[in-house]
């Protein structure tokens, strides 16, 4: 749902275009500096615009042809989009404006509306070029902005200019912030003619052909703007704890013991817990600040053990949702290091971040990383670099040669690093563990162990669709499954299931979204609500396969329950927006049959243990770091209450959850 200017498409099928003169603009899509796709925009003198856009992301990615009819005043009269979306679902979208009447149709919407004032239709699946058209309209509209169809409002703000050089020559480009489309401003670079020049991020960028060398300069200026916004937000929303604080009148839950102490209090100072227990038994120094918990539930901060921390709103989302520690499992190392530095210096808001470095193999399905190893020498270099830069774990990805995997494990272990990841293609989960893996990411990777006769190349989306097609046939009570689970227990293998990240993927389809965000739908910005309601995040399920995919997904949940009952260690991870999504992950563990108290232990003390931090994190006990959350209700009885975080203490700083959510356009939990 996060706005990515390179993730959608628009098309208007009109006759007579071929004969008009055209201005052709071609841009390239770069993922972590690697060529991943392109956009070609053709502006004709008759007011038509044709755009082709595509990129490849491990076998996923859109391929779109869009045509627009642009009116004399620059507004868009008609759009038609055809092709496929990120998950290869069919795209057939149209928009038309006739006077004051606007009509549009796509896989999830079929609407008409009489317009009382100017508005801009934003496609459900649109190309980067569409945001150029939007930006021009917003610039023309001025400070009051424009209504966005079907919902919301937006405005553009010019932030600065920059002179850049490329093979075609020098250009002066301008940076614009588009407000109202996402949780934080969306950035877009335009040239002197207000043509598309670039959309930049440290992960994936789209840039005018011949100007890739300008991206570092664009990134530096854009990062400066983003850092200023982050620093302003941190200053306004962080309360530093400069002296002792007594949190009193709470029900204190200690995950290690599973016990809840009523009428409790916790005394913290200098970021750590000094004392905890019955309030009447505590000795409190004179002058101590007091926070009355109002009888609420106090517990350690949550851990998201599968994060990718690169969105500008990620830190605010995590802290607002009670997530005080995350493990980042693949990122741009220097960019992540800067974010960590800013957070720890209180110039940004965010959780504690544990770094894991990804290594993949080269090829058409390579992951978004520069760490691509085809031999042991390359692998050793990447392991050494990650170890030297404070990474604690190596995540092996799907395109690594099976014969190279054990060497990477040996290298990592020699450096004191854990080893985890996707099971590489042409390898079983059992072989992955036998050859040195300490942990497996994603529950589908374990299920594929029993589908090796049907799918071996798991670099592509086949690692998802095969679960939908065949997953329900896996008998969790069979000797083969039980023996494998016992093997995982005996080896001490950790599993990071991320069941929530598959929920809408397997259960959502056009006009019928999955249930993953149902509990918080009305709290989200209108643009996010639209994306969720569309069901656009679902896999392209063939007619008649809906039940199979639903049953395959249920088998994932059941497998998590089997792992827990068998003593296999589980950690809580989302591979998504942790501050919003982790609660759903924990609810699904309860649905798998894990008692709520044990789920809370998994999401705190147990995860800290896997990260070798359980002597300092994950408990309410003297000497432990004061990462604490104050919650309405009782998640040991109703896991849904974990969404009702009111106050977050992250060591030596305090946050109001409601104010954090409001700062990024999300309504606080009721």
Mean pLDDT lowest for which of 62-66, 70-74, 135-139, 374-378? 70-74
Q: For residues 645 and 659, is the Cβ–Cβ distance under 8 A?
A: no
Total Cβ atoms within 10 A of residue 292: 11
* Average pLDDT rounded to a whole number, residues 492-502: 97
DSSP reduced 3-state for 467: helix
Of the chain, the percentage scoring pLDDT greater than 90 comes to 89
Domain range annotation of the chain: 22-236, 442-594
Per-residue pLDDT tens over the stretch 75-86: 899 999 999 999
Specify which residues 187 forms β-bridges with: 177
Q: For residues 123 and 134, is the Cβ–Cβ distance under 8 A?
A: no
Q: What are phi and psi of 144, to 5 degrees?
A: -75, -20
393-396 and 289-292 beta bridge pairing: unpaired
State yes or no: pLDDT of 10 exceeds 90: no
DSSP letter at 60 equals B
Q: For residues 506 and 468, is the Cβ–Cβ distance under 8 A?
A: yes
Longest dimension (CA), the chain: 87
Mean pLDDT across the chain: 94
* The dihedral formed by the CA atoms of 203, 358, 326 and 581, expressed in degrees to the nearest 10: 70
Return the beta strands (E) in 85-236 as ranges. Answer: 90-98, 101-105, 110-114, 119-121, 146-149, 153-166, 169-179, 186-190, 196-199, 204-208
Return the closest-CA partner of residue 384 out of 372, 394, 370, 397. Answer: 394
State yes or no: pLDDT of 13 exceeds 60: no
Rounded Cα gap, residues 178 and 319, in angstroms = 25
Per-residue pLDDT tens over the stretch 618-629: 999 999 999 999
Which pLDDT value is given to residue 18? 40
Per-residue pLDDT tens over the stretch 580-596: 999 999 999 999 999 99
Between 439 and 151, name the one with better pLDDT. Answer: 439
The pTM assigned to this predicted structure is 0.93
* Average pLDDT rounded to a whole number, residues 271-294: 96
How far does Cα 91 stand from its chain's mean position?
23
Q: Give residue 7's pLDDT band: very low, low, confident or very high (50, 70, 90).
A: very low
């Amino acid at each position: 749902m996060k706005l990515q200017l390179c993730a959608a498409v628009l098309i208007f099928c009109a006759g007579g275009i071929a004969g008009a003169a055209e201005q052709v603009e071609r841009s390239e899509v770069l993922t972590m500096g690697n060529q991943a796709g392109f956009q070609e925009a053709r502006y004709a003198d008759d007011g038509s615009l044709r755009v082709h856009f595509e990129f490849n992301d491990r076998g996923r990615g859109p391929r779109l042809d869009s045509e627009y009819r642009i009116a004399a005043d620059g507004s868009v009269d008609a759009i038609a989009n055809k092709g496929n979306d990120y998950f290869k679902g069919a795209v057939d979208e149209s928009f038309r404006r006739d006077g004051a009447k606007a009509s549009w149709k796509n896989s999830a919407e079929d609407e008409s509306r009489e317009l009382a004032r100017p508005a801009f239709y934003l496609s459900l699946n649109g190309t980067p070029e569409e945001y150029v058209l939007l930006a021009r309209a917003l610039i023309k509209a001025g400070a009051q902005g424009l209504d966005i169809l079907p919902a919301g409002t937006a405005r553009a703000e010019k932030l600065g200019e920059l002179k850049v050089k490329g093979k075609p020559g020098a250009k002066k480009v301008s940076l614009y912030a588009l407000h109202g489309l996402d949780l934080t401003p969306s950035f877009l670079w335009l040239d002197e003619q207000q043509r598309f020049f670039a959309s930049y991020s440290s992960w994936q960028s789209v840039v005018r052909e011949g100007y890739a060398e300008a991206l570092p300069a664009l990134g530096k200026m854009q990062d400066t703007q983003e850092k200023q916004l982050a620093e302003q937000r941190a200053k306004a929303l962080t309360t530093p704890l400069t002296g002792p604080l007594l949190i009193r009148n709470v029900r204190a839950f200690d995950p290690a013991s599973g016990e809840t102490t009523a009428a409790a209090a916790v005394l913290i100072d200098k970021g750590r817990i000094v004392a905890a227990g019955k309030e009447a038994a505590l000795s409190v120094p004179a002058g101590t600040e007091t926070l009355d918990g109002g009888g609420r539930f106090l517990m350690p901060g949550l851990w998201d053990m599968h994060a990718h921390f690169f969105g500008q709103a990620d830190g605010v989302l995590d802290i607002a949702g009670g997530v005080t520690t995350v493990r980042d499992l693949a990122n741009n190392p220097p960019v992540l290091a800067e974010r960590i530095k800013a957070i720890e210096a209180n110039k940004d808001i965010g959780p504690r971040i544990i770094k894991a470095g990804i290594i993949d193999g080269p090829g058409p399905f390579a992951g978004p990383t520069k760490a691509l190893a085809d031999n042991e020498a390359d692998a050793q270099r990447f392991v050494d670099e990650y170890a030297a830069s404070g990474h604690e774990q190596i995540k092996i990805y799907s395109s690594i040669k099976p014969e190279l995997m054990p060497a990477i494990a040996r290298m990592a272990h020699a450096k004191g690093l854990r080893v985890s990841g996707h099971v590489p293609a042409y390898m079983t989960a059992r072989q992955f563990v036998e050859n040195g893996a300490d942990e497996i990411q994603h529950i589908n990777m374990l299920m594929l162990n029993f589908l090796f006769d049907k799918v071996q190349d798991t670099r592509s989306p086949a690692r998802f669709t095969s679960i939908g097609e065949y997953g329900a046939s896996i008998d969790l009570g069979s000797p083969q499954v039980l023996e494998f689970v016992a093997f995982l227990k005996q080896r001490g293998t950790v599993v990071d299931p991320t069941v929530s990240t598959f929920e809408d993927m397997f259960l959502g389809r056009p006009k019928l979204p999955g249930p993953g965000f149902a509990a918080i739908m009305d709290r989200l910005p209108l643009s996010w609500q639209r994306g969720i309601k569309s069901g656009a995040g679902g896999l392209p399920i063939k007619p008649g396969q809906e039940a199979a995919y639903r049953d395959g997904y249920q088998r994932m949940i059941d497998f998590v329950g089997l792992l827990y009952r068998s003593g296999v260690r589980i950690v809580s991870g989302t591979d998504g927006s942790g501050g919003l999504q982790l609660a759903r992950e924990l609810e699904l563990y309860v649905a798998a049959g894990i008692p709520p108290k044990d789920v809370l232990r998994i999401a705190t003390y147990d995860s800290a243990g896997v990260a070798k931090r359980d002597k300092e994190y994950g408990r309410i006990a003297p000497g432990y770091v004061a990462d604490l959350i104050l919650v309405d209700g009782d998640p040991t009885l109703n896991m849904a209450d974990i969404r009702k975080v009111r106050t977050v203490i992250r060591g030596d700083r305090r946050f109001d959850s409601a104010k954090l959510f409001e700062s990024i356009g999300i309504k606080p939990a009721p």
